[in-house]
Every structure is written in structure tokens, then in C-alpha cells.
Amino acid sequence: MAEEATRPLLNQANDTSPYPSRQSSSSQIDKYPSTESTSLLLPFELSNESTPLLHRRDDDLSAYGGTESVRRSSSTSRDSTVPENTSKLRGRIRWPILCGAIALTAVVAILVFVFVAPAVVKQYAQEAVVLKPTNLSIESATADGMRTRIRADVVLDADRVRKSPVRNLGRFVTWIAREVETGQSDVQVYLPEYGNVLVGTASVPSVKLRIQNGHVNHIDFFADVVAGDIPGIRSVAMDWLEGRLGHLRVKGAATLHLTSGILSLGEQLLSDSVTFEESDFPALPDVKIRRFDVHDANTPDKGGMAVDLSVAAMIDSPFTLTIPPLGFQILVPNCSPDDPYISVAGVATKEFPVNPGHATSIDISGVIQGLSDELTRICPGKKKSPLDFLVKNYIQGLRTTVYVRGASVPSLGTPDWVVDILKSVTVPLPFTGHALDDLVRNFTMSDVHFSLPDPLADPGSPESNPTVSALVKVLVGLPKQMNLQIDVPRVRANADVFYHEKKLGVLKLPNWQPANSTLLEDANDAPALFVEFAMENAPLYVTDEDVLTDVLQALIFEGRSVRLTISASVDAEVATGLGKFAIREIPAEGVVDVKPPYGGSIDKLDIRVDSLELESSTESSVTVKTRVNVTNPSPYSASVPFFDFRVMYNGTRVAHVTARDISITPGVNTGLHIDLKWSPFDLDGPAGVSAGREMLSHYVSGTNTTVTVQSYEGTIPALPGLGKALSKLGIEVQIPRVPVPRIPGHEPDGDGQSMGFIQDATLHLWSSTADFTLSSPFPNTTIEITSIEAQASYQKEEEVGSINYYIPFPVPPGLSQSPSLPVELNMGGVGYEALKNALGGSLKLDAVAMVGFRIRNYSDTLLYKGKGIKSHVKL
């Protein structure tokens, strides 16, 4: 009977469970459990659609207790064939046997439960039980740990048990026991590979479970977790952050007090370990800044900057948790990777929840009380400070890394054990800056002043470069998030200058320049900073002389404006509530439209000769000092310490024009000193003499005479290459009129009198002589006329007479009277009749004369052609 009663327990069901089987074992634990791998008592499975919550077998459920009904049916069928009295007799005999069998069965059952079943049932439980968490959350932090809530489904699936005897006996025993209670227990979690560091201890309350095969238990309980070895936990965190954690083995151990009803099942000492690979570790969150506000801090004692921001981060957490308020230090990289990070601010977060699969919003606020010297000091061997590198990366939109470390002083509501962990863990926080391509929205220069280099400077020295002075105006766009009182007291800059995308040169402003700044709003109601500073004598290093030639050709020779592109790198000294500090290499771009220096036409310069003064002379040259008046129609000014141009007439060199220490400002400029060195023979030999004589003849005759002013290597001694490059260009200049003293009340009357060298002429018919009133332009020099060969005509063709005079006479400064010059009159011509008719009056005559002259050591001849000379005719 006993064999018949136990036969259903020996039936072997097909092992078709979908759950993987694991071979389990238990072991006694000491203070620290063994580091050897043990099987997992409660297999954890993530809930998904492909994993069945329960694996039920109805045929198995019907098998329990089913033998009694089958046996009862058989007995009934046999009794129907036996006489009734025989049945009664046998019934009297069976009752004692049945009672003995029941007692024997009870003894066997006790022996099985006490001596055999515990080990088998333990193995059955280890293989059959399935724990499927449905929700894990950390409800709150406590003074020594955290309070967690665990919700899960627990089910025993016999099909997971591989050995049939264990499976069948376990199903039988759990069917008999039906329900067990674990009792309150503690679970310790260790890290075997870190010297069995105790991570924490969880206090689990008593839990009741129905343990029949296939029954689903929904459990929901709170557990208090106490943090373990804090330094050990920090070392694991540092290995993870620094990429040294390839895998991590976690071992858990617990002592369970099991009861079933009033029957105590004793203590069960269980342990298991799980190995996590690198791919299982949570990744550092990708942080995105949603809101960023900077404003002045309301601190009564000292200034500061308050920062409020909201960030979103995908935190890879497998469970829901609530993070208490935390305090952090914000650190930035130092000059060298080996140098300690620099603390710039203290920030605090408010309490915030973390939900798996959802972005976490974190509100952060902090106050920056000041900037340390480490942050603003120039790095050794470099030209920037750590702050410069940080700002440059941000405004260029580059990836920047700052570091977050827990504050040493806890925030309100932060447990001490959290502070102990966070204060020694530094987390890198990479983020991408905001490219401020339009940071400088407008860049203009006014009151531009160009200065040529020192003529005595050595070529290649800083003094050998032209300089530029200007009033620079910059409109700096600020992020809308900035609500700061900000000032820029000083600036300096280096700028590359381009023309038609070709680099012209480099404009350097190496010294700090005082600046004025004003906060205002631009057209889009965004904050902006208007900065104005004077650029004083910034050297312009010309890097491409051909490009400069193109610029000057457009400005001077073609009379059109040019557009120069400025690409600058600006250093700004910024004053805020934090104090004064420098931000270096702020990119700035602008366009400067340069107008022609004389309004597009050389005539607009309105060059007028104010005076002439003979300085020196040789047999082949004369140096004349002049003072000229020039009208500058452009908005630019210039300083010229020295320049020397060649004057060319019909392609032949005849003179030099030299200027020293000239300053030209917009508008009328008077009294500019320019020297003219007339030396045609020295420059081009006989050809120069011939060209110079022709030029003087036209000029003295009153004809508008144009010469070409051209540079050469010596134009700017400090920049010989520039002068040579410009030599291919030439500017056509009309020789200005020379002012001469005039007879009071006598005004020019026609082209012949336009020059004013001959103020008046009188012809005496009776004596056949003529005398002239002459005007010399030289105030301190006497000109000597050495010879005159002249012919006068009436109405261009009718000859009146001729003068051939070879006796030198002087022409002193100012107005003077010539001696009476003999005239050979043509008595039979029409011209003579015109003279007689003009007796007592005046007559306009034309004259052609070859005049020899001497100015100190220099002598030459010129051809004078006068038209419409007003001549008085007397008897």
C-alpha cells in the first residue's frame, strides 16, 4: 500500500520547462563568504513578452491526490462480485491493518522530512523558484543607507528541475506544505575581487509564499539598506569612471528562517554570486542643457555671479529612485593634465526623481564668489590661461569637459554616507559649447589715421612698418541667458587684413588700450555690449606687397573705394561682480570700407602752391622748398614722416618730390612743406634735360602741364620692397599754379596772363623799344635773364616785330621792371598798322621767345609762348 501510495511521486514528467536550469548549492558562511562561485537561489528574470510568467501543467495538478479516486473505483468493481458476508469479514480485518499502515506512513513521512527531504527540497527550491521583479524603487535616503521598495512575482516551476526524483519529491513536499514564511532576515552583498568589501546590508521583512507548483505570489515590501564599507565603494566607483572596471563579481549571502504553519523548517544558509561584464555597467549620462541663466548674485559682503540651469540627462538606472538634495564642486582642467583640477564654483541640486527609460530633469543652482589666480594665470610656456581655453572652446562650439565632485560640506537633507562617497569621486561631464559665430555683430573703424614708417628705421624692424590709428567701435552680442553688469575697461587685438580674400597684412595692437563699454539691447531685444576704444599707432605688417599694390591702385589711381575684411583676435579685460579678468582670443570679424584719399579724383585734392623758396642749386639741379595747401575730402588722416617720389614727364625722370613730417587731416590742410629737387640731367642725362626743358616751357607759358608721380625703392627707405612694388603704378598730377605778386588792381586777362610772370608790357613806337613789368615767384632769390630771342605777332600770323637781347639783367623778388629792350618793328605789315591804330591804348599780342635764365648756379633755356598779352602802345 505504501508502494502504491507513493507511485505517483515516481512518475517522471517531461522536462519541457522554458527556463534554463542551474545547478545550485548552499554553503555555510563565516564572517566573509567564500569567493568560490555558488549557484543562484532565486533566478532573476527581466519581464518581457517572450518570458512566460507562469508555466502551468494541468495534468500535473490533477495527478496530486488523483490516485485515491482511481483506487476507489477499482475496489468498488471487485466488491460487486463477492458475497456480502465475505465483505464484512474482510472489513473487520482491514481496519487494524489500515491503522498500522497510516502510522507507518506517518513515521516514514517524518523520517523523510527530517532526514531526507531538507536537502532535496532545498535543491528543488533552488532550481524551481523564479523571481521576476515588477518594480524596484528607492523611496528615500536614510541616515545610514536607503529605504527601498520591492515588488515582484515569485513562482515555483517544477519543469526547471532537471532530476526527476528531486522534481517529484519537491512537488510532493511543496504540495503538502502549501505555504512557507521566511521570517525577517538580513542579506549581505560583498565584492569578492575587492577583498570581500561589504557593499551593504538589506533588512528584509517576513514574507509568506504559497509554494505549490505554478502558483504566482505577488510580493510587495519595503527593505532598509545600510551602506557598508564606504572607502571600498569609492574605489569601485573610481575604477568604473576611469575605465579600469572590465567586470565585477557580486556575491550575496543570507540566513533564512523558514516555517510552514506551526512547523519550523529551520535555518537555511544561502549564498550566490553574479558576474557583471563591462557592457552591463551603466553609461555616463549624456547631459543636455535646457536652461542656462547667469546673473549677479545678491551677496551683501562681496560680489559674485549666480548660475541657474536646468539639464536633462538619460540616467541608465534599472529602477526608480529619488535623489536627495546634493552639493557639488565644479572643476575645470588646469594647464597640464597632470595638474589638479581648478575649483570654480559650488552648486547644489534639488531633490529629483529618476525613472527608467525617461529623461531626468535636474535643476542646479550655484554661486561663483570669485576666480582664483590659478584660473586666470597664464600657463607656463603658453599665451593663455585655463580660463582662456575654456572660453575659447565654448564660443567655438567645441566639446568641453568639466568635472563634478561631491562637496565636502553636505547640503541640507543629504545623508553623511552619500557625502562620504561623492566627495572623493570626480565625474567628467562633457558638453558641447554654443558656437558664437555672431558674437561680434558689428566692427567698424572711424577717424582712421595712417602713418608711414620712420625713414631712418632699419628694414624689417617694428619701426619700419606703417601704423594705423582709428576709433574702433565693436558691438558684441551677448547670450540672452546673461543678465550681468559687465564692463570692458581695456582691450588689445591682432587682426589679419584681407582684400579680395587675399591677405594684405597683419594689424597688431599688442598693448592694452583703454576702452569704454555700454550695455544696451540690439534690434532683437537681446543684450549687447557696445565697446569703443582708440587704436593708437598699431603697426601694419604688410605680408603681400602685390595685394597692397592692388589696393593703392584702386584707391589712388582708379579713385574707387575698396572693402577690406578684418579678421581679428581680441583680448578683452572684463569686469564683473567676480572682479577683473582677461578673456583672450575672442574672434571678431568686420568689414571696413576705405574711400579714396582724395574723393576719387586727384583734382578734388585742390593742391595749391602757397609759396616757393630756393634752397640750394648746382650746375645741374635746383632745390626748391614749397608750401602747399591741400583739401582732403576723405574721412581719413595720415602722417608722413618721409617720402620721396620721382617726377616724370613723358616717361622721363626730371625731378624728385620729397616730404617730411607731414600730417594730413580731413578737410583743408595748409602750409604743408614739400621739397622739389629739379635735376633732369642727374636723373636721365640729356634726355632728362630735353624733357625738363619742354616741361618748363609749357608750364611757364601757362599751359596746363601734367606730370607723373611715381615711387621707387627709396620712396620709403624703411620699406624698399613696397616702394619697388608700387613703382609699376603712377599718378597723373597737374602741376599747380605758382602764386606771383601782382600789380594792384591788375587781374588775369586771358590765358596769356594766367601765370602772371609778365604782369605788363609797353611798346614805344618812336624809340622802337619795349619794357616789361615782371613778377618773380621766389621771395628770396633773384633770377637772372641771360638772353631773349622773341617774336611778336598780331592775330597769330601778322608779324609785329622781334627782340634779340643778350645782355643779362636781374629779376629780383616781387615786381620789377625790365630794361628797355630794342624791338625790330615790321613797318610794312598789318601788325604795324594795328600798332598805329592802338596808339595811346593797348593791343593784345602773341609772343614766342627763347629765354635764357640763371638761378644761382643753375642755368638753362626755355621756350616761352604767350597768347593775348596785353601791350600798351605809346609814341
CA–CA dist 527, 295 (Å, integer): 13
- Parallel, antiparallel, or unpaired: how do β-strands 217-227 and 858-874 relate? unpaired
Low-confidence residues of the chain: pLDDT under 50: 1-92, 106-107, 110-111, 114-115, 749-754
CA–CA dist 115, 108 (Å, integer): 10
In 10 A of CB 568, how many CB atoms?
21
Query: For 316, what's the count of Cα atoms within 13 Å in the CB-facing half-sphere?
Result: 8
Give pLDDT, residue 254: 78
Give pLDDT, residue 662: 86
Nine-digit cell string for 767: 624809340
- Parallel, antiparallel, or unpaired: how do β-strands 326-332 and 342-349 relate? antiparallel
CA–CA dist 719, 541 (Å, integer): 11
Which residues is 476 bridged to in the sheet? 440, 529
In 10 A of CB 851, how many CB atoms?
18
Buried b (16+ CB within 10 A) or exposed e, 297-332: beeeeeebbbbebebebebebeebbebbebbbbbbb
Which residues is 225 bridged to in the sheet? 146, 202
Contact (CB, 8 A) for 846 and 869:
yes
CA–CA dist 20, 161 (Å, integer): 9
Kindly calculate the radius of gyration of the chain based on its CA atoms and give it in whole angstroms: 56
In 10 A of CB 378, how many CB atoms?
14
Give pLDDT, residue 817: 92
Please work out, in degrees rounded to the nearest 5, the angle formed at the alpha carbon of residue 714 by the alpha carbons of 713 and 720.
50
Contact (CB, 8 A) for 778 and 784:
no
Query: Residue 827 gets which letter from DSSP?
Result: T
Residues in the chain: 875
Give pLDDT, residue 775: 87
In 10 A of CB 7, how many CB atoms?
10
Longest Cα–Cα distance in the chain: 205
Give pLDDT, residue 105: 52
Single-letter code of the amino acid located at 120: V
Contact (CB, 8 A) for 820 and 771:
yes
Which residues is 189 bridged to in the sheet? 200, 252
Q: What H or E segment, with its residue span, contains residue 559?
A: none
Give pLDDT, residue 48: 35
The distance of Cα 430 from the centroid of its chain, to the nearest Å, equals: 16
Give pLDDT, residue 854: 94
pTM over 0.85: no
Of the candidates 855, 683, 728, the residue with the CA atom closest to the CA atom of residue 691: 683
Please work out, in degrees rounded to the nearest 5, the angle formed at the alpha carbon of residue 591 by the alpha carbons of 588 and 592.
120
Please say whether the dihedral angle defined by the alpha carbons of residues 593, 596, 598 and 599, taken in this order, is positive or negative.
negative
Please name each of the domains of the chain with its CATH number: 2-280 (no CATH), 287-432 (2.60.40), 440-594 (no CATH), 602-734 (2.60.40), 751-874 (2.60.40)
Query: For 448, what's the count of Cα atoms within 13 Å in the CB-facing half-sphere?
Result: 15
Q: What H or E segment, with its residue span, contains residue 791?
A: strand 783-794
The distance of Cα 658 from the centroid of its chain, to the nearest Å, equals: 48
